[in-house]
Amino acid sequence: MSKLFLGGVSPNTTEQTIRDVFNRFGEVSDAVVMRDRGFGFVTFRDQEGADKALREATQEIDGQRIDVKPAQGKGGGKGGGGGGGGKGDGGSRGPATDKVFVGGLPQDCSDDKIRDYFEQYGTIVDSVVMKDRETNRSRGFGFVQFDSPDPVDKVMDDYKNHKIEGKWVEVKRSVPRDQMPTPAPDNRGGGRDSRSGGGGGGGRRLVQFGIVSYSHAGLA
């Protein structure tokens, strides 16, 4: 089975809606919507369906622009890369980075709000809430960049405790793709692992649910 990460999902979107949208690419075996956190997952019965969906990597669902990416987490089960409800290391192992991905932001969260919250951990050089380019609505996630990797370690140490406007938000280390360590081309053939992170390789070191290629000007 092949699992895809869906970024920027509206809190109004249901799992049945996800199934209805993605069934045109192939048989959907599972759909998960993390409504409070702005993302979801869709799992196809076979790889062909996932490949077809990835060819149309931007979808519009319930008026929200959705990014479709491979879910490069721990594997095939439901929520297999979601990071748990505030449990786990939150991606604390991996390459040093000065940038943090912040997921599950409140819909009215501004750049200043995430800056005000995270500046307790260190000096911030940039912060951004990603917005839909057409509607200018928040897509439910953003990035914070510090002046060194040390504050990121402190942020990850408090993984279970981050709340903005009373809402728990999920933090992940954000490492540019070109700085990710190259996984060893051993099991299951080098071609697949080098492209997808191989579950236990680069993708797993970076994040647990496939946020590998998000970037924006000033934070890349």
Q: What is the pLDDT of residue 8?
A: 82
Is 51 a residue whose pLDDT tops 70? yes
Say whether 68 sits in a helix, a strand or coil: strand
The H or E element that residue 59 is part of is strand 58-61
Is 64 a residue whose pLDDT tops 90? no
Q: What is the pLDDT of residue 84?
A: 36
Q: What is the pLDDT of residue 57?
A: 84
Looking at every residue in the chain, the average pLDDT score rounds to 74
By the 8 A CB rule, do 49 and 2 touch?
yes
pTM for this predicted structure = 0.47
Model pLDDT for residues 162-207, shown as the tens digit of each residue = 988 888 899 998 876 655 555 555 555 444 443 333 333 333 333 3
By the 8 A CB rule, do 86 and 42 touch?
no
Q: What is the pLDDT of residue 183?
A: 53
**16-25, 74-83, 114-123, 146-155 — which is least confidently predicted?**
74-83
220: confidence class by pLDDT, cuts 50, 70, 90: very low
Q: What is the pLDDT of residue 44?
A: 92
Model pLDDT for residues 73-94, shown as the tens digit of each residue = 433 333 333 333 333 444 445 5
Q: What is the pLDDT of residue 10?
A: 85
Q: What is the pLDDT of residue 197?
A: 38
Within 10 angstroms of residue 14's Cβ, the number of other Cβ atoms is: 14
Is 38 a residue whose pLDDT tops 60? yes
Radius of gyration of the chain (CA): 17
Cα separation, 80 vs 179, in Å, equals: 25
Distance of CA 1 to the CA centre of its chain: 20
Q: What is the pLDDT of residue 49?
A: 92
Cα separation, 149 vs 95, in Å, equals: 10
Cα separation, 178 vs 204, in Å, equals: 15
Q: What is the pLDDT of residue 24?
A: 94
Is 156 a residue whose pLDDT tops 60? yes
The residues, any chain, with a CB within 8 Å of residue 90's CB and separated by 6 or more, are 83, 156, 159, 160, 170, 171, 172
